[in-house]
Amino acid sequence: QVQLVESGGGLVQPGGSLRLSCAASGIIFRIFGVAWYRQAPGKQRELVASITNDGSTTYVYSVKGRFTISRDNAKNTVYLQMNSLKSEDTAVYYCNLVNGPKPYWGQGTQVTVSS
């Protein structure tokens, strides 16, 4: 059974940092790209960052220089290091496969940036 489980969210003050994790199971993880998405209430879900099977990365402009996506194939895990967090980063964050056979949406992890 394919599962993608997000964790690491929480409440943080503006300027703070969080590291999100996406743990995968039920797939040959190393052959898939993985992406992080986020969705705030009343807003469209947006692609935040992605990483290919060989480690190439992309980011939405608004997080460039602040967020870093990485992967550890030995642990079947993708990370999203988020620094210099802003209130507009508040959202539920999800991970999913890039070009997977279908979406595997999990529960996501809530990130709240507030003073």
Distance CA 101, CA 72 (A): 22
pLDDT digits (tens, 9 = 90+) for 62-100: 999 999 999 999 999 999 999 999 999 999 999 999 989
Question: How much is the pLDDT for 85?
Answer: 98
Reported in sequence order, the residue ranges of the chain that DSSP labels E, i.e. its strands, are 3-7, 10-12, 18-25, 33-39, 46-51, 57-59, 67-72, 77-82, 91-98, 109-113
